[in-house]
């Protein structure tokens, strides 16, 4: 017989074990099998419901809709529940084996209780999710990410500001605050933080429809804020621009009240009434939209009723030293064993202010002796008791950078920039013209068409010293703190020497309200609303510079300039003036006269008295039709003459009194007599005069911009001859009806190294622009209404070039802007894909036969390009492959 094992279980033991199970806990064990069956059944129903919702979502997403956050959250929770049930199902056999007494008890009570409770809780979650499955909307209209925020250039984030960036960002993406203020002293990095916040929305909009950037500045104008917002949200056009402020506010409110937006306001000095602008004000009940602003004043945070405010602090000693040593450079720090310790003392004197650390760090980058560093410490420690508020901490530091400039000339050039308004983009050429007129630049330093001239060299010094900022290739601006500092120097510190009076962008309607003209040397009234100077007769014996540009000026008294014997620089550009005051000839000291973008019809003969004139700007004086003969030749000291898009040539007659009507060949003859001419921008209207122009070594040497307007009977232009204009940076050709070709003679040197902008329009027989392959630095090309043009670069002409020439060409390597409009026979830009590494924008409009762009997956790799065109044209485009099409689809914006 086999072995028999007997097991005896005491009834008392069983009774005791069961008593340990309370009623509630026993339920989880007793109902485990039923709950597992129910859980599996409910999960199957939930998955079916999930699949139904997903089908609705997928159909809508094919129509370029976007699933709602509510739906996405539910789908994520369903996925998590499905994973949890799967794990419970896998573990269930082992747990069921532990049950005894018909499932009413367990041999491992704790384990069965925990498992049973988890099953019951998961069943509740699944049933709850089933109850949430009915959605009113599963998708919303998608907002293209490229429209949400516009990328803004910025410096890399300073290490010490990372924490505050993360805190503010958290407020933006979480609904904890609607109005957020960033406050702190000038130059501490508030605008940098705001820019980085803006750019964080580029890759992912976080459900926002608009991210709107507005620079406010001291001169608060609600209309300008409305204009910026209107452009961003698609309201701005000619009609809307003329609506009242109240009407614009209603329009803005109608749009933004239905959208989720972020409004970024930079540089507030007082309260901005958002209601008057039309912006729905975020409050404690509605924080879906956000307003973020920067200010130097804590009080503004209160006035703006900020829900959250963040003080942008100066850097800690450790972070400040890291930034400072980066700007000074290891080579300088290691040059002498005393320098590191002295450098730390200099960095400490900066008080952790990023702008000061960067500015002074760069200024000290090549100071390699301990004596220079000790002197720097002495200067930085000097007190300035006259400073108040921010000036006590900021200006002495910034003035050190000013004092460290090479000489008084460069310092004067810097102070001069404060004559322009806050946040103004200053044309480099305009600035240099003024410096020449003032006499800042060395008389013996002759201009060259490229960067080697003294003016551009000076701008480079100021940019590298962080006292000017480059905003475009041809423009600079002043940081507002630097501008405040320079005005403080010009108006207070060096008042006797400089004595500025600046009302630029101040919103003035009348100049008669300004007092104190008698002693001032430089006066700026630019960018105001002044219309009339007919009853003002100022006495300004010491005035050297006068800015009246960018006003609504229509009338200037004939005696206005009568008592300005010292005036050297006069800017009258961008005003409504149709004729010059007769007594402008009293300005015998005048060296720079800017009449660009005015409506003047003639130059008075009395101007011949202005024999000291060095710069004359007549660009875009399209109403100008009368110039006295020999007037231009009287300006023997002229260094700069700008006549681009100037002169309306009605005929070619010369009247008996010697007044010149339009004869540009006579003007060219006069130009030949200007021996000091170094910069020329000119307009030509005949092939004969063009040949005259191109045969002059003197004119070829100084030509920087050329406008060929309405050349008659010219079937071709020798582009090789144009290439001999070594400093030509802008070429415009318009309304040359017979022009068929811009020829290239490879026997001549044909490289347009300086050419950056090309504009061709209304040349109805021109078939291609193959000469552009010899313009390696061209940045902007605009071609309009050339109806016969079939190719931009002709494949046949390119193939005819010798291989040695073709192999050295890199077309459009630096192109940033391409505009093709009304080219109805154009079928090719270039026959194969190009890198376009710097291309930012392409506009194609009314180019029906252009069915392929020279792009592949490797073109414009960063995908920052914007391609604008008609929807119909875009849909018909042929692509190199599907990957290329997918890569550039987000770049398109419909016209």
Which tens digits make up the pLDDT trace of 283-336?
A: 766 668 899 999 877 888 899 999 999 988 888 889 989 999 999 999 999 999
Judgement on whether residues 779 and 891 belong to the same structural domain of the protein = yes
Question: Which segment of 153-167, 546-560, 655-669 scores lowest on mean pLDDT?
Answer: 655-669
Judgement on whether residues 281 and 333 belong to the same structural domain of the protein = no
Q: Is residue 323 part of a domain?
A: yes
User: Per-residue pLDDT for 147 more than 60?
Assistant: no
Q: Is residue 750 part of a domain?
A: yes
Judgement on whether residues 282 and 359 belong to the same structural domain of the protein = no
Contact between residue 180 and residue 164 where contact means Cβ atoms under 8 Å apart? no
pLDDT level of residue 393 (50, 70, 90 thresholds): low
User: What's the token pair of residue 865?
Assistant: 């390009």
Sign of CA dihedral 503, 509, 511, 514: negative
pLDDT digit string, tens, across residues 575-617 = 999 999 888 888 999 999 999 999 999 999 899 999 999 999 9
Contact between residue 281 and residue 309 where contact means Cβ atoms under 8 Å apart? no
User: Per-residue pLDDT for 840 more than 90?
Assistant: yes
Judgement on whether residues 69 and 149 belong to the same structural domain of the protein = no
For the chain, the residue count is: 895
Contact between residue 711 and residue 686 where contact means Cβ atoms under 8 Å apart? yes
Q: How many CB atoms lie within 10 A of CB 310?
A: 20
Q: Is residue 779 part of a domain?
A: yes
Q: Tell me the C-alpha distance between 736 and 125, whole Å.
A: 77
Percent helix / strand / coil, the chain, rounded to 5: 40, 15, 45
Judgement on whether residues 305 and 172 belong to the same structural domain of the protein = yes
Judgement on whether residues 156 and 114 belong to the same structural domain of the protein = no
CATH of the domain at 164: 3.40.50.300
pLDDT at position 513: 62
User: Per-residue pLDDT for 268 more than 70?
Assistant: yes
CATH of the domain at 125: 1.20.140
Cα torsion through 196, 199, 204, 210, rounded to 10 = 110
- Run of H or E including 875: helix 871-876
Question: Which segment of 10-24, 234-248, 263-277 scores lowest on mean pLDDT?
Answer: 10-24
Could you tell me which residue, 791 or 22, shows the higher pLDDT? 791
Contact between residue 640 and residue 664 where contact means Cβ atoms under 8 Å apart? no
Q: Tell me the C-alpha distance between 678 and 441, whole Å.
A: 14
Cα separation values, 286 from 177, 233, 310, 520, Å: 9, 21, 21, 53
Q: Percentage of the chain surpassing pLDDT 90?
A: 43
Within 8 A by CB and 6+ apart from 379, the residues are 400, 403
Contact between residue 215 and residue 267 where contact means Cβ atoms under 8 Å apart? yes
**DSSP bridge partners of 732:** 707, 759
User: Per-residue pLDDT for 754 more than 90?
Assistant: yes
pLDDT level of residue 339 (50, 70, 90 thresholds): very high
Contact between residue 662 and residue 650 where contact means Cβ atoms under 8 Å apart? yes
DSSP string across 353-406: -HHHHHHHHHHTTT--SHHHHHHHHHHHT---TT--GGGGTSHHHHHHHHHTSS
- Whole-model pTM: value is 0.67
Q: Tell me the C-alpha distance between 366 and 401, whole Å.
A: 14
**DSSP bridge partners of 502:** 524
Judgement on whether residues 768 and 819 belong to the same structural domain of the protein = yes
pLDDT level of residue 452 (50, 70, 90 thresholds): very low
Q: Tell me the C-alpha distance between 72 and 891, whole Å.
A: 26
Question: Which segment of 30-34, 200-204, 242-246, 451-455 scores lowest on mean pLDDT?
Answer: 451-455
Where is the domain boundary, 116, 141, 166? 141
Q: Is residue 300 part of a domain?
A: yes
DSSP string across 440-506: -S-TT----SSTTSHHHHHHHHHHHTTSSEEEETTEEE--HHHHHHHHHIIIIITTTTT-EEE-TTS
Q: Tell me the C-alpha distance between 716 and 763, whole Å.
A: 11
pLDDT digit string, tens, across residues 872-893 = 999 999 999 999 999 999 999 9
Sign of CA dihedral 33, 35, 38, 44: negative
Which one-letter DSSP state was computed for residue 22?
A: -
Where is the domain boundary, 404, 433, 451? 404
Of 721, 723, 761, the closest CA to residue 739 belongs to: 761
pLDDT digit string, tens, across residues 342-356 = 999 888 877 777 887
pLDDT level of residue 88 (50, 70, 90 thresholds): confident
User: What's the token pair of residue 194?
Assistant: 């705001």
Q: Tell me what the pLDDT averaged over the chain comes to.
A: 85
pLDDT digit string, tens, across residues 857-871 = 999 887 789 999 999
Q: Is residue 559 part of a domain?
A: no
Q: Is residue 568 part of a domain?
A: no
pLDDT at position 103: 66
User: Per-residue pLDDT for 663 more than 70?
Assistant: no
Q: Is residue 755 part of a domain?
A: yes
pLDDT level of residue 380 (50, 70, 90 thresholds): low
Q: What is the CA radius of gyration of the chain?
A: 36
Could you tell me which residue, 839 or 217, shows the higher pLDDT? 839
Cα separation values, 88 from 16, 25, 35, 263, Å: 30, 19, 11, 49
Q: Tell me the C-alpha distance between 452 and 439, whole Å.
A: 18
Task: Note down the domain range covering 304.
Answer: 145-311
Q: Tell me the C-alpha distance between 389 and 683, whole Å.
A: 53
Q: Is residue 520 part of a domain?
A: no
Judgement on whether residues 329 and 279 belong to the same structural domain of the protein = no
Within 8 A by CB and 6+ apart from 504, the residues are 419, 420, 421, 424, 524, 525, 526, 527, 528, 547
User: Per-residue pLDDT for 662 more than 50?
Assistant: no
Q: Tell me the C-alpha distance between 88 and 94, whole Å.
A: 10
Judgement on whether residues 302 and 349 belong to the same structural domain of the protein = no
pLDDT level of residue 846 (50, 70, 90 thresholds): very high
Judgement on whether residues 352 and 247 belong to the same structural domain of the protein = no
CATH of the domain at 336: 1.10.8
Judgement on whether residues 90 and 210 belong to the same structural domain of the protein = no
Judgement on whether residues 201 and 325 belong to the same structural domain of the protein = no
345: left (phi over 0), alpha (psi -120 to 50) or beta: alpha
Contact between residue 701 and residue 671 where contact means Cβ atoms under 8 Å apart? no
pLDDT level of residue 695 (50, 70, 90 thresholds): very high
Q: How many CB atoms lie within 10 A of CB 59?
A: 12
Please give the average per-residue pLDDT across 107-117, as a whole number. 79
Give me the number of domains the chain comprises: 4
User: What's the token pair of residue 728?
Assistant: 């030509």
User: Per-residue pLDDT for 361 more than 70?
Assistant: yes
Angle between helices 32-61 and 109-131 (to 10 degrees): 30
pLDDT digit string, tens, across residues 529-581 = 999 888 888 888 999 999 999 999 998 988 889 889 999 999 999 999 999 98
Where is the domain boundary, 273, 292, 311? 311
Please give the average per-residue pLDDT across 65-89, as a whole number. 83
Within 8 A by CB and 6+ apart from 246, the residues are none
CATH of the domain at 802: 3.80.10
Contact between residue 106 and residue 29 where contact means Cβ atoms under 8 Å apart? yes
Question: Which segment of 20-34, 581-595, 804-818 scores lowest on mean pLDDT?
Answer: 20-34
pLDDT digit string, tens, across residues 701-751 = 999 999 999 888 889 999 999 999 999 999 999 999 899 999 988 777 789
- Run of H or E including 730: strand 730-734
Contact between residue 526 and residue 571 where contact means Cβ atoms under 8 Å apart? yes
Q: Tell me the C-alpha distance between 806 and 795, whole Å.
A: 11
User: What's the token pair of residue 106?
Assistant: 């367990």
């Amino acid at each position: 017989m086999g072995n028999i094992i007997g097991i005896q279980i005491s009834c008392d033991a069983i009774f005791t074990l069961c008593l340990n199970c309370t009623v509630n806990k026993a339920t989880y064990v007793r109902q485990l099998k039923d709950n597992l069956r129910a859980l599996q059944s409910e999960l199957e129903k939930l998955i079916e419901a999930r699949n139904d919702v997903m089908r609705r979502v997928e159909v809508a997403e094919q129509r370029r809709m976007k699933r709602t956050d509510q739906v996405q959250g539910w789908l994520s929770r369903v996925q998590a529940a499905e994973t949890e049930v799967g794990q419970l199902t896998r573990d269930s056999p082992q747990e069921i084996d532990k049950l005894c007494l018909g499932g009413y008890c367990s041999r491992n009570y704790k384990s069965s209780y925990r498992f049973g409770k988890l099953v019951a809780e998961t069943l509740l979650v699944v049933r709850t999710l089933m109850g949430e499955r009915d959605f009113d909307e599963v998708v919303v209209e998608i907002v293209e990410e490229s429209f949400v925020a516009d990328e803004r250039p910025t410096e890399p984030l300073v290490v010490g500001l990372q924490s505050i960036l993360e805190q503010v960002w958290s407020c933006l993406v979480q609904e904890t605050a609607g109005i957020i203020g960033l406050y702190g002293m000038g130059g501490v990095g508030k605008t940098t933080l705001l820019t980085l916040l803006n750019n964080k929305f580029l890759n992912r909009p976080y459900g926002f429809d608009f991210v709107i950037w507005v620079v406010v500045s001291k001169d608060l104008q609600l209309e300008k804020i409305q204009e910026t917002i209107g452009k961003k949200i698609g309201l701005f056009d000619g009609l809307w621009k003329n609506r009242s402020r109240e009407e614009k506010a209603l329009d803005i409110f109608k749009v933004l009240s239905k959208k989720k937006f972020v409004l970024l306001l930079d540089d507030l000095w007082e309260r901005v009434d958002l209601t008057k602008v039309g912006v729905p004000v975020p409050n404690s009940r509605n924080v879906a939209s956000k307003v973020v602003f920067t200010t130097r004043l804590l009080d503004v945070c209160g006035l703006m009723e900020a829900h959250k405010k963040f003080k942008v602090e100066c850097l800690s000693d450790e972070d400040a030293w890291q930034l400072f040593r980066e700007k000074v450079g290891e080579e300088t720090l290691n040059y002498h064993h005393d320098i590191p310790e002295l450098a730390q003392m200099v960095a400490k004197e900066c008080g952790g202010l990023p702008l000061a650390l960067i500015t002074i760090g760069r200024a000290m980058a090549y100071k390699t002796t301990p004596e220079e560093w000790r002197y720097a410490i002495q200067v930085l420690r000097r007190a300035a008791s006259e400073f108040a508020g921010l000036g006590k901490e900021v200006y002495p530091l910034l003035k050190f950078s000013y004092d460290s400039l090479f000489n008084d000339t460069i310092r004067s050039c810097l102070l001069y920039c404060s004559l322009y308004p806050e946040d103004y983009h200053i044309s480099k050429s305009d600035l240099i013209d003024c410096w020449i007129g003032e006499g800042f630049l060395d008389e013996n330093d002759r201009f060259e068409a490229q960067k080697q001239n003294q003016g551009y060299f000076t701008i480079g010094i100021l940019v590298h010293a962080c006292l000017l900022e480059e905003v475009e290739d041809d423009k600079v601006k002043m940081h507002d703190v630097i501008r405040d500092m320079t005005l403080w120097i010009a108006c207070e510190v060096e008042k006797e020497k400089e004595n500025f009076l600046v009302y630029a962008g101040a919103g003035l309607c009348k100049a008669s309200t300004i007092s104190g003209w008698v002693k001032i040397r430089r006066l700026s009234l630019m960018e105001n609303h002044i219309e009339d100077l007919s009853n003002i007769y100022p006495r300004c014996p010491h005035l050297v510079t006068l800015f009246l540009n960018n006003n609504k000026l229509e009338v200037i008294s004939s005696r206005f300039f009568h008592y300005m014997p010292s005036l050297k620089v006069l800017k009258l550009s961008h005003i409504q003036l149709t004729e010059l005051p007769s007594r402008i000839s009293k300005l015998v000291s005048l060296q720079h006269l800017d009449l660009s973008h005015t409506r003047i019809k003639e130059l008075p003969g009395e101007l011949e008295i202005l024999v000291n004139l060095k710069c004359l700007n007549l660009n875009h004086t399209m109403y100008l039709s009368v110039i006295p003969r020999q007037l231009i030749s009287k300006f023997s000291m002229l260094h700069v003459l700008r006549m681009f898009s100037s002169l309306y040539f009605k005929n070619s007659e010369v009247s008996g009194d010697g007044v010149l009507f339009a004869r540009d060949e006579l003007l060219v003859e006069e130009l030949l007599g200007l021996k000091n001419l170094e910069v020329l921008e000119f307009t030509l209207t005949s092939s004969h005069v063009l040949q005259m122009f191109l045969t002059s070594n003197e004119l070829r040497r100084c030509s920087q911009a050329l406008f060929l307007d309405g050349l008659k009977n010219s079937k071709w232009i020798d582009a090789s001859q144009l290439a001999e204009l070594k400093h030509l940076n802008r070429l415009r050709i318009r309304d040359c009806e017979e022009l068929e070709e811009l020829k290239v003679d490879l026997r001549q040197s044909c490289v347009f190294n300086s050419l950056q902008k090309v504009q061709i329009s209304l040349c109805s027989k021109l078939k291609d622009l193959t000469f552009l392959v010899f313009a390696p630095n061209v940045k902007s090309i605009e071609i309009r209404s050339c109806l016969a043009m079939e190719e931009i670069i002709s494949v046949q002409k390119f193939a005819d070039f010798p291989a040695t020439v073709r192999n050295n060409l890199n077309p459009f390597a630096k192109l940033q802007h391409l505009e093709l409009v009304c080219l109805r026979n154009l079928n090719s830009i270039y026959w194969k894909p190009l890198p376009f590494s710097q291309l930012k924008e392409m506009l194609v409009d009314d180019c029906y036969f252009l069915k392929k762009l020279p792009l592949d997956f490797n073109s414009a790799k960063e995908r920052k390009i914007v391609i604008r065109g008609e929807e119909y044209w875009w849909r018909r485009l042929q692509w190199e492959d599907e990957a290329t099409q997918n890569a550039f689809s987000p770049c398109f914006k419909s016209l």
